[in-house]
Structure 1
């Protein structure tokens, strides 16, 4: 009988770049009994699938031996909230990470205890870049270089020794990281290439240049860390939107409680101006809610009882009592952060190709450098010093750092920028695919429309419109039916005072009635009303015209008189038409797939200018998606993630619409949190912009190396330009990727 396989999860302290994750992954896979390993540099976690009888103490010792600390996490616990690191280099260093997480791959680590908590404002804050260990090492190296230059001028006899000491100040930590990388299975790291080049330069008498090159290397690393830190700050800022405490109402009194301890179904008081500490539903009070920190919407939204609110948004002018619907670890902000962390670990096809390419590229560069150093002197009588110098320069030029970071830096920045605006994509592969779609299939109800009926027409037959609405609202008062709520909402909007009615009755399938001002008032379907009092030809024609527009019509009977009619329809979202136009302008075919009746669907379709397929079952929607794919379209299906599940799964990209619900976050490949149709076009836009950015980055990385490779071989450039070609390209690539953090969808 096969031994059962189980799963264990750890927080890995000191891991903050892709190289760190790769080293831990390699070490863990070599432990007996380990079946699979998933290491997330972004989340700082390691998930291990292993046979039930495996000795995990061996695993922990192996990872600790690499210079990291691991702490078991309870099942379902989240890793410590913190930045979402974007590795600006494919090698091990801290890149301006929070001080407690900095590491030099072999240096000691903080002994701070693990924190298994939901994201919160208490997460570790990054130190200023100029106080990081990397900055202090760079400053020390620079001062040593200046001192060596001064000593060399004052005492020429010891100039070589002075520059050797200056070089060692910066090189020792680099060499230590190189050894750690080699022992963990990464022999061709940039640290190793840098160490070989610096030591080789000393042997051929270029000590001053070697010291300068080490200093320039450290400056480049520091600049990369500063640029990459912006991506980490983007998600870190999201976790800090949720306040540390909440006012929980207990025995009628508000009690200040840590936000992570607030339980589901608790009622919290949110005062005017306070930030909301948990997802929930308003039970009493009315106020404007500033949702811009979470949704990017500039206009505050007025909300009252039964309205949904999200953690991290800001209460406006009124006190609110909110019933909590999600614990701190499960609120919208926490789930968005978790999704982005997971997405950043899901590699795009381009990124996987670059990773495979770099595995062969770096050893190839080492071989080329060796041939350049050896072949000309041996075969053509060239000067050994000159050609060894060129070979060392080629080692530095050939470092793949800029190339390796070209894709993940852009993807991480885009995922972060999208998440802050409610566009969630589950990984780099999804981000790439969204930009390739050529057809978008939309659900109707709740996706293109509001998902609830609204009064569109108040028709006066024998009574003025305001009186028709007043009487209808009086009859419907107290009802929770969607059509009744639509009428009451319209009456409230028009500030109509609704009188109290007596003897209210519901007539199953026909309508409702009540006594008002001594007469019976009935509101029901045209057929039910006609049974009580016949409709004229003109009235029947008017009702038929409204029905042809996809509207539901209720007729008001006051006594025996046909007073008027009220038409209602689930209206399109305000941004639906412009959103669909944005997709059409991008060359994307748009289709509405709905189970609604043909007349209603076509009326909405005409209003939005979209092709309509109506009266569909879930399997019909799936077949249409498959048919479009057979026609050569790259298909996106946009729906609510529940009854559209078959079609979402069949599409090239499934996009769930929803206001932060579990379904919206967990179903399909991507989610539009805030229900805006225009956000689908925004998702396409950021995907295309990301791919352009990646292509620019690859061109910068390879282009600079090609130029300097040629100039080095012909003797125009040397070690200094070589290291600038590496670190300069990496800084340019990272800075270019970080531009994506400023992305905003079109208005």
Structure 2
């Protein structure tokens, strides 16, 4: 019998770069009983899998020994919100303003000590050295302690260790003043990293703040204000005009325009009527709505988005994994190179020891890997957050990176390129005009839940056509529906069934054939012993489908429509969209087509509803689910567009390409600055001050560059 495994979750404060994450990962793995550790730097999350013997105190003690703060969150599987839930507390330090964090206070104290040392040295030159040594100790002792702790727990080549060696070495060659200033600059850089990392962290957690804290629950006609997190599935809530929606649900009474911009970035409010879903955090701009709750507070759309983005940030892209592997070799290499710079010229060429040791110490500072290792995860975290705020979910850095390389996309038809439900497209009058035709058809279909019946009823409502009462209505299997309206017998059904009852003229036959050729389903209405007229219905393309597909073609991406529908309907829909159709397919046929595209050397995305065609979605390089915030759309496939817009697919690809471009910029900045200052240091132009500025400056610049992605907006919305 397998031993039970537990998962404990923690929020860590002060963890601002990938180097911090590696130190924590390595140290926590040292605890007895730990089976696996997962550290997510952008969200400050730590997950520890163990056999039950690892305590919160042991984990938090390990964090504090490394110089971080933290708090235990509700373990997985027990009651209460999980680590990704919006009701969850963030780390105590993250909740403070940046100027009152531990890093900011240490930086201020170190700066004050350095200013004091300058003042004391000016007034009392004989004690100047001791004043600067004291100022140096204020900043260096915490840094050195973190370096030694990291080394003790398996990370000897940390940024803190490089800084400690450089500062202590500078003291021994008589540069105590410069060493103190360098430590201050290092602390300033760390503080600025924390500010930037906090922005990325708060951008996605800020979604949780969109959900109101209270909700108006109606029970037996009495409305009571309660905490939103206490509202249960099935409860009836009242949403007033101007209120934010407190929970996911379905409208059971009322209609109005809901502003989804706070959640999706969509500028135009969406009209919602009875039966439509509403999502927590959106704003009711119309009349009073009564909504039946469909998800708990810990599982509403925003909570799932926050949780999925946090989980996605744990999945590294190929580029990030390469940088991680490279940095593990790079940092020890910097130590070796710095030692060679310090010792080789004096030993081999008679150079001055103090001069070359100074240059070797500067090389250590230049070689700090912070800017390099943060260049990729910072950009990916910002990109995932920016996408999530606009309803574009990508499950990890690998998915985000692959999306930018897509060269072919296979779309499902029904519910993906089309709205997924038929609408009445044509009313062709016969013995009755179009209004009477629609009125009689609606009379027969009243109360039916058949998709074609719902289309007729929706068209009647839209055209303000009232339906008279019908009597003795009944369905005739395989033919249609029959009943009495105003004492007259009427029938609505297929053209074949209608032809068995009354003659259809050649002109009417031709009109029906023309509509069928357009992929439309025709229902014929018989009244008074003749053809009253006929209605044509079709599952129409989404309003944005043409523009979305045109954008993909402009990017050089091949688009294909895969459907199990008949060839005639598929070709008619494809012709209107300008897409290549493949019709009459079974799920296994779609899988074969995806494989064939990949065999041609194409990088293939498959877009579907997240339920059907699972084999093709799994086979594709990226499977993308289309949905309206449903569990399936959020939990399946590699990526999801929550709002069912074809337009979102090219937007997702554009975001991916923007993120990868940002990463390339960051790597160029990080390595370019190091290369420049390495040369200038070795030839004697720059020293310790510019060296640390090169490192901290590059780190801050790279992080700030990545944070620009948080303001990303689709091109068509700018």
TM-score normalised by structure 2 residue count: 0.95
Indicate how the Cα distance of structure 1 residues 535 and 482 shifts in structure 2: closer, same or farther if over 3 A, else same. same
**For 1:450-529, what aligned pairs fall within 5 Å after superposition?**
450-529=419-498
Deviation of the 1:514 alpha carbon:
3.3
The answer to whether residue 179 in structure 2 is matched with residue 179 in structure 1 is no
The Cα shift of 1:687 comes to 1.0
Corresponding residue number in structure 2 for 1:217: 186
5+ residue gaps, structure 1, are 82-115
Greater Cα offset, 566-575 or 267-276 = 267-276
Partners of 2:218 and 2:80 in 1: CA distance: 30
What is the DSSP-based 3-state SS (H/G/I as helix, E as strand, rest coil) of the residue aligned with 1:352? helix
Aligned equivalents of 2:341 and 2:23: distance in 1? 31
Which 10-residue stretch deviates more, 449-458 or 276-285?
Answer: 276-285
| Distance (whole Å) between structure 2 residues aligned to residue 730 and residue 245 of structure 1 | 42
After superposition, residues 572-611 of structure 1 pair within 5 angstroms as 572-611=541-580
CA distance, structure 2, for counterparts of residue 77 and residue 580 of structure 1: 46
How far has the Cα of 1:34 moved from its partner? 4.0
Q: Distance in 2 between matches of 1:588 and 1:428?
A: 22
CA gap of 1:28–1:138, structure 2 versus 1, over 3 A, is closer
Distance 2:694 2:507 in 1: 82
1:269 and 1:156 map into 2 onto residues whose CA distance is 75
- Secondary structure at the counterpart of residue 422 of structure 2: strand
Say yes or no: does 1:6 pair with 2:5: yes
Call closer, same or farther: CA 1:257–1:62 in 2, change over 3 Å.
closer
Q: Tell me, in whole angstroms, the C-alpha distance in 1 between the residues paired with 2:47 and 2:431.
A: 72
Q: Is 1:264 aligned with 2:263?
A: no
1:164 positional shift = 2.1
In 1, the alpha carbon distance for the partners of 2:239 and 2:89 equals 20
Counterpart position of 2:87: 120
Residue matched to 2:76: 75
Q: 1:80 to 1:399 in 2, by over 3 A?
A: farther
Matched, 1:130 2:131: no
Contact 1:269/1:322 (<8 A) preserved: yes
Deviations 1:6-35 (A, max 9, x none): 233232554734445433432343445544
Q: Distance in 1 between matches of 2:71 and 2:142?
A: 23
**2:609 maps to what in 1?**
640
Residue 371 of structure 1 pairs with residue 370 of structure 2 = no
Say whether the 8 Å CA contact 1:60–1:70 is kept in structure 2: no
> Distance between the aligned counterparts of 2:144 and 2:660, measured in 1?
36
Once residues 217 and 43 of structure 1 are traced to their aligned partners in structure 2, the CA distance between those partners, rounded to angstroms, is 23
Match of 2:61 among 50, 59, 64: 64
Q: Is 1:352 the equivalent of 2:321?
A: yes
State whether residues 627 and 641 of structure 2, in contact with CA within 8 Å, keep that contact through their aligned partners in structure 1: yes
Q: 1:62 to 1:604 in 2, by over 3 A?
A: closer
Between stretches 552-561 and 357-366, larger displacement belongs to 552-561
SS of equivalent residue, structure 1 residue 506: strand
Say whether the 8 Å CA contact 2:12–2:46 is kept in structure 1: no
Change (3 A) 1:227 1:117: closer
The question of 1:411 aligning with 2:380 is answered yes
Which digits, 9 at most, give the CA deviation of each residue in 1:510-559, with x for residues without a partner? 22233334422322211222222111000010001000100001112221
- Pairwise mapping of residues 208-247 of structure 1 onto structure 2 (< 5 A)? 208-247=177-216
- 1:92 aligns with none
In structure 2, the residue matched to 1:394 is 363
Asked whether 1:55 is paired with 2:53, we answer yes
Deviations 1:299-319 (A, max 9, x none): 111212111111111112211
Deviations 1:358-392 (A, max 9, x none): 01101110111111111211222211111111111
Deviation at 1:263, TM superposition (A): 1.1
User: Per the alignment, do residues 76 and 745 of structure 1 end up closer, same or farther by CA in structure 2, a change over 3 Å counting?
Assistant: farther
**Cα gap change, 1:43 to 1:315, in 2 (>3 Å):** same
Contact 1:433 1:652 (C-alpha < 8 Å) held by counterparts = yes
Check conservation: 2:245, 2:282, Cα contact below 8 A. yes
Distance (Å, rounded) in 1 between the aligned partners of 2:247 and 2:385: 22
Judge conservation of contact 2:42–2:378 (CA < 8 Å) in 1.
no
Aligned counterpart, 2:29: 29
Partner of 1:292: 261
Structure 1 window deviating more from structure 2 (22-31 vs 588-597): it is: 22-31
Give 1:458 shift: 0.9
Residue in structure 1 matched with residue 38 of structure 2 by the alignment: 38
Native 8 Å contact 2:43 2:201 kept in 1: no
Worse-superposed segment, 728-737 or 374-383? 374-383
User: Once the 2 structures are TM-superposed, how far is the Cα of residue 158 of structure 1 from its aligned partner?
Assistant: 2.2
Q: Which of the numbers 317, 324, 327 marks the counterpart of 2:293?
A: 324
Whole-Å separation in 1 of the counterparts to 2:33 and 2:127: 57
Match of 1:312 among 259, 272, 281: 281
Of 307, 323, 335 in structure 1, the residue corresponding to residue 304 of structure 2 is 335
Displacement, 1:79? 8.8
Query: Partner of 1:240: helix, strand, or coil?
Result: helix
CA RMSD of aligned residues (A): 2.1
Take 2:669 and 2:606, find their aligned partners in 1: how far apart are those partners? 36
CA drift at 1:496:
2.3
SS of residue matched to 1:532: coil
CA distance in 2, matches of 1:138, 1:27: 25
Q: Does 1:446 align with 2:415?
A: yes
1:709 partnered with 2:678: yes
Distance change (3 Å), C-alpha of 1:658 and 1:231: same
Q: Which residue matches 1:656? A: 625
Deviations 1:561-614 (A, max 9, x none): 312111000000011111111111111110011111111111001010101111
Structure 2: state its 5+ residue gaps.
none
Listed one character per residue, the Cα deviations across residues 647-701 of structure 1 (whole Å, up to 9, x for unaligned) are 0011111111111111111111111111111111111111111111111111100
SS of structure 2 residue aligned to 1:345: coil
- Higher mean alpha-carbon deviation, 535-544 vs 171-180, is at 171-180
Match of 1:568 among 519, 534, 537: 537
TM-score scaled by structure 1? 0.91
Cα pair distance change 1:677/1:206, threshold 3 Å: same
Going from structure 1 to structure 2, the CA distance change for 1:688 and 1:13 (only over 3 Å counts) comes to closer
Answering whether residue 249 of structure 2 is matched by residue 280 of structure 1, we say yes
Q: Secondary structure at the match of 1:450?
A: coil
